[in-house]
Structure 1
Amino acid sequence: MNVIPKRVMNLSHLVRQAARRYGQEIAFVWGDSTWTWAELDRRIDAMASALAERGVAKGDRVLVQSKNCNQMFESMFACFRLGAVWVPTNFRQTPGEVAYLASASGASVMICQHDFPEHAAAVREAVPDLRLVISIGPSAFGDDYEALVERHLGESVAVAPVEHDDPCWFFFTSGTTGRPKAAILTHGQLAFVITSHLCDLMPGTTQADASLVVAPLSHGAGVHQLVQTARGVKTVLLTSDRFDADEVWALVERWRITNMFTVPTIVKLLTEHPSVDAHDHSSLRYVIYAGAPMYREDQKHALKKLGKVLVQYFGLGEVTGNITVLPAALHDPEDGDAVKIGTCGFERTGMQVSIQDNAGRELQPDETGEICVCGPAVFAGYYDNPEANAKAFRDGWFRTGDLGHMDEEGFLYITGRASDMYISGGSNVYPREIEEKMLTHPAVAEVAILGVPDRTWGEVGIAVCVLRPDARLDERDLLTWMDGKVSRYKLPKRVFFWDALPKSGYGKITKLAVRAELEARGCLPLEAKGAEVPAQQSTGQ
């Protein structure tokens, strides 16, 4: 049977559509500057023309090292328009890390904000045949972005024809278990993701809405803003990369923000900051959080502050967020029989979840196993990494590496990362369960629990806590309070109190960084410290 190539819309056409329908409406806001959809479309055309004149063509990879700004947003669509691949970095990465991304992606062009000359130099060294460096802002290391736009304004290029599986975005994983891998996102896959986001996360979204960006556009926030473009929604940026809760709420009030995408730790910071009560946020309809499950106590507090506007989705970069959704209607500030506490929701439209054991056998409801998924939102594989692809897929299912179970109604509950689980005295321990209980203590603001080697039990838990301002609590009192709330073998052997927990560039608490910090502080290994467990802390199995 002859297979007919499946041509799809080039995603850059989203901007063209918005410019045709809402040309003089505000598309983008950054500080005191605004751009209409017509202006944005012309600027994207100009940058695409500049890149094409310098030899950039379909399939070329364009590395982008930048903080959030209008040029970074434009660069995505300029690449798409040429059929090139957008390769954004986390701007907080080191020059060496970014140089690795350039090499691993096969980048031939770099767009680099002028704040990062060391990164540009490192990439030039790692990629000797790098053809072009463009600087966002004045610099000595590349062609000036704005000068190129000015020179080519009014020009246009033919929009590259694309098929469903043509790559448009290399979405780098965080690399918490090794080197980052480039997940290949495609035009056809992302078109489905956009549709699913509008269907499941933000129903009823129109050009009358406004979206605030409080996370780097290089990852989940970039996907979220791609969705906003599809509906002609204006995008509003914070004025700097420094997170300022007061500025967030001031912008929500000024621009009548209706949706934002963030992570649970940022929702927590925003709703616990005094400025949440000083500004009008009644315009908010959807506060979408992802990246990690939200602890129940934080959920309840945020709902009481904002109303029922929280929407959770679970997904990885490889599935571009499209695994489950817990809509606003199913978030409740009070516990009750009808509230499914701890769930991350049900399967997204067009997606299927399977809980599997190590052999790939599907498990029964309420049995814990690996969360696997299939559907149109699953990525096309890792770029130039057959070994990673072989590990990530089994019988057509993408293996997320997360553990969890589904109930009889199809609601998913995440137990934790497979790498987070530890075995103490022969019993599996899932840190998230203990973390949830510990966070109900009125003095505890944040907690991370991880397993560490132990001569007696094989592994035991270590908890690192951050207390609320002016709260006082010690290890013995906390563990005494926890006794009876979870099985004794699940109680951490030690509790440490820090001023803050290490977080990723996207605001997530990373267990790898917590473990490294424990070692740096001399807290590990436990045997080396000769630590004795008080009677109340016994981890008897």
Structure 2
Amino acid sequence: MTDPKGGLAPVSTRVMNLATFLTQIARREPDAIALVMGETRWTWAEFEARTDALAHALQTRFGLQKGDRAMCQSQNCLEMMQAMFAVWRVGAVWVPANFRQTPEEVVYLTQSSGAKLMICNAAFPGHAAACKAECPDLETILSFGEADFGPSVEAITAETMGNRPTVAAVDRDDPCWFFFTSGTTGRPKASVLTHGQMAFVVTNHLADLMPGLTSDDASLVVAPLSHGAGVHQLTQIARGVKTVLLPSERFDVAEVWDLIREWRVSTMFTVPTIVKLLVEHPSTAIADHSSLRYIIYAGAPMYRVDQQKALRTLGKVLVQYFGLGECTGNITVLPAYMHDADDSPTVRLGTCGFARTGIEVQIQDDQGAELPPGQTGEICCIGPAVFAGYYQNPTANAKSFRNGWFRTGDLGHMDEQGFLFITGRESDMYISGGSNVYPREIEEKLLTHPAITEVAILGVPDPLWGEIGWAVCVGQGVTEAEVLAFLEGKLSRYKMPKRVIFWDALPKSAYGKITKKMIREELEARGLIGEGVSA
């Protein structure tokens, strides 16, 4: 079969529905434990039966069809995992919100996605009410737990237990997940993830991040399932790994170590700030973490001093990946064996690794030409993990793709061997006296000061230099003069921050990331920068 241009056209683009991962492991090991939360346990057979029951109800009672969008507003719970697979089973699109977002923010996500159905945890009646009032496409609201705003998933499941849905046939490019960006540079955009793309992502995660997983493994969830942790758990289900959820929203480090010991947890997905909390907590000194094989961290750079502490405390179990939601993490990987606490000549300090399997990474200039090793430019990539584009946003798509390459908006350089070094977000870079300044380098230097635990460098407008650097630090027993004296000789003069400010804590996003946007907003709120304020 050929296309009009004479090439070979695909006979079929049909792919496996992602919900089939659950069916496959339920057939192989029906009685093994699949999900754990507090005192509740679901076997794989129970997980499968509950998913079938809910999917049947979504199809027959609520009219959810292939291509419809289903919004979810909830903190982590077992039913959230059930609902995700049920939505996929009928061919609909999973649209999870970050549960810490405001009702107004979730209204925007619901409107912009055109969601037909919403599943909202009973703890968020205000979110359900706001969406019901302001989202004309929204026909049905269900609840996790008993609520006045809609029937509960638990009751619906019990009523339809034993029924099976018609599993939707899907093509490679059929959407399965709207993965919203964090909105750090504007309103969130819906990245369209597809069944074919996500099947590649699962395979790639297993190959590059967690090789050798079996049903003897266990995974602990310490991040919201709405984003990277949800992708991580889909990967665990593909190999029959049991998923252990924290019993509540509260992050208790001692409790985390207890769960790791009890369930012999071998894999976790998290962000550097959480790794830092785990390493520095007093309970870690007596914790049994011998079962841990992979602590996968992403979402933000991990500073070298924190990396060293973690490696010396936990051993060589750290795995880093770099990747945006648009690529579901699949850009680079720094595997566990390449992490080392000692600064030996063989250790590539500051790298986030090499290209993931099946992914090509380039450093490009402003015109899209590839730059040679050592030169800083925009990090761009191509490969099967790259998303299908932003939903109904041609302007963002035109800006984010060039000659087929996805433009990450991150700056960096590569060495001769193809290892990537991230300089920072393009939006974080500032120009002082005509010279580009990349905050990451300065932040790394400051964090080697024993009294400083967190830091962010921002460019602030200046009438003489255009922009100057401010250091916003968390630390005790140190002064601005001492910090500046500490940096003397470690940085070029133009990179030296002109002001050092101390706060009790740096504002963080709902995913635990330190974001420059939030810090800048806090500086404005405190009257330190902004119109009419002189730097």
TM-score (norm 1): 0.96
Matched, 1:455 2:475: no
| Letter aligned with residue 349 of structure 1 | T
Aligned pair partner of 1:125 in 128, 133, 137: 133
- Preserved CA contact (<8 Å) 1:271 1:301: yes
Aligned letter for 2:112?
A
Amino acid at match of 2:269: F
Q: Which structure 2 residues correspond to residues 202-213 of structure 1 after superposition, within 5 A?
A: 202-213=210-221
Q: Which residue of 2 aligns with 1:513?
A: 518
Which residue number corresponds to residue 66 of structure 1? 74
Match of 1:412 among 420, 432, 447: 420
Alignment of 1:430-469 (within 5 A): 430-467=438-475
Counterpart pick for 1:57 among 56, 61, 65: 65
Which residue of 1 is the match for residue 485 of structure 2?
480
Given residue 344 of structure 1, which amino acid in structure 2 is its aligned partner?
Answer: C
Could you tell me which of 83, 87, 92 is aligned with 2:95?
Answer: 87
CA contact (8 A) 1:454 1:527 kept: no
Which letter does structure 2 place at the counterpart of 1:325?
V
Distance in 2, Cα, partners of 1:299 & 1:130: 45
Q: Given the alignment, which residue of 27, 31, 40 partners 1:20? A: 27
- Write the mapping of 1:369-388 to structure 2, written as runs, cut at 5 A: 369-388=377-396
Q: Does 1:186 align with 2:194?
A: yes
Question: In 2, Cα distance between the equivalents of 1:173 and 1:125?
Answer: 25
- Indicate the residue corresponding to 2:263 in structure 1: 255
Tell me, in whole angstroms, the C-alpha distance in 2 between the residues paired with 1:295 and 1:506. 17
Classify the secondary structure of the residue corresponding to 2:290. coil
Letter in 1 for 2:232: H
Distance 1:359 1:125 in 2: 46
Matched residues in 2 for 1:257 and 1:71: separation?
21
CA distance in 1, matches of 2:279, 2:106: 34
Report how far residue 374 of structure 1 moved. Answer: 0.1
The CA deviation at 1:524 is: 1.2
**Superposition map of 1:329-340 within 5 A:** 329-340=337-348
2:334 is equivalent to residue 326 of structure 1: yes
2:225 aligned partner: 217
Aligned partners of 2:97 and 2:106 also within 8 Å = yes
Distance 1:390 1:228 in 2: 35
Q: Deviations over 1:67-126 (max 9, x none)?
A: 000011111100110000000000000000000000000101000000111101111122
What amino acid is the match of 2:215? Q
Is 1:501 the equivalent of 2:506?
yes
Check 1:369–1:347 CA distance in 2 against 1; reply closer, same or farther (3 A cut): same
Contact kept, 8 Å, 1:65 with 1:88, in 2: the verdict is: yes
Partner of 1:537: none
After TM superposition, list the pairs within 5 Å mapping 1:293-332 onto structure 2. Answer: 293-332=301-340
Match of 2:529 in 1: 524
- Does structure 1 retain, via aligned residues, the 8 Å contact 2:56–2:166? no
Tell me how far 1:128 sits from its aligned partner.
2.4
**Cα deviation, residue 246, structure 1:** 1.1
Cα distance in structure 2, aligned partners of 1:526 and 1:45: 57
**Conserved 8 A contact 2:114-2:137:** no
Pairing partner for 2:36 from 2, 11, 29: 29
Check if 1:490 corresponds to 2:495. yes
2:159 to 148, 151, 157: 151
State the alpha-carbon separation in 2 of the partners of residues 411 and 25 from structure 1: 41
Q: Separation in 1 of the partners of 2:122 and 2:99?
A: 12
Find the counterpart in structure 2 of residue 535 from structure 1.
none
Identity %: 66
Under a length normalisation based on structure 2, what TM-score does the superposition of the two structures give?
0.97
- Within 1, Cα distance between the matches of 2:523 and 2:250? 27
Measured in 2, the distance between the counterparts of 1:516 and 1:148 equals: 44
| 2:17 aligned residue | 10
In the alignment, structure 1 residue 111 sits paired with structure 2 residue 119: yes
Distance 1:275 1:102 in 2: 41
**Which residue of 291, 300, 303 maps to 1:292?**
300
**Structure 1 residue 527 displacement after superposition:** 7.6
Q: Once the two structures are superposed, what CA deviation does each residue of 1:491-527 show, in whole Å capped at 9, x if it has no partner?
A: 1111110111000111000100000001111221498
How far apart are residue 43 of structure 1 and its match? 0.4
Q: In 2, are the aligned partners of 1:162 and 1:187 still within 8 Å (CA)? A: yes
Partner in structure 2 of residue 536 of structure 1 = none
Matches of 1:526 and 1:425, distance apart in 2:
21
- How much does 1:384 deviate? 0.5
- CA distance in structure 1 between the aligned counterparts of 2:220 and 2:429, rounded to whole angstroms: 35
Tell me whether 1:43 sits opposite 2:30 in the alignment: no
Question: Is the 8 Å Cα contact of residues 249 and 281 (structure 1) preserved in structure 2?
Answer: yes
1:128 and 1:426 mapped to 2: Cα distance?
A: 50
Q: Letter of the aligned partner of 2:31 in structure 1?
A: Q
Whether the aligned pair in 2 keeps the contact of 1:423 and 1:429 (CA below 8 Å) is: yes
Superposition deviation, residue 297 in structure 1: 0.2
Amino acid at match of 2:526: R
Measured in 2, the distance between the counterparts of 1:453 and 1:201 equals 41
Does structure 1 conserve the Cα–Cα contact (< 8 Å) formed by 2:114 and 2:138?
no
Q: In structure 2, give the amino acid aligned to 1:162.
A: V
Which of the residues 160, 173, 176 maps onto 2:168? 160
Q: Deviations over 1:123-153 (max 9, x none)?
A: 1122124211101111110111111000010
> What is the match of residue 276 of structure 1?
284
Q: Answer whether contact 1:344 1:411 (CA < 8 A) is retained.
A: yes
Which of 394, 407, 411 is equivalent to 1:403? Answer: 411
User: Structure 2: 5+ residue runs without aligned partners?
Assistant: 4-8
Counterpart residue type for residue 271 of structure 2 = V
Cα RMSD, aligned residues only: 1.0
Deviations 1:170-209 (A, max 9, x none): 0000011111000000000000000000000001111110
Aligned pair partner of 2:148 in 121, 140, 144? 140
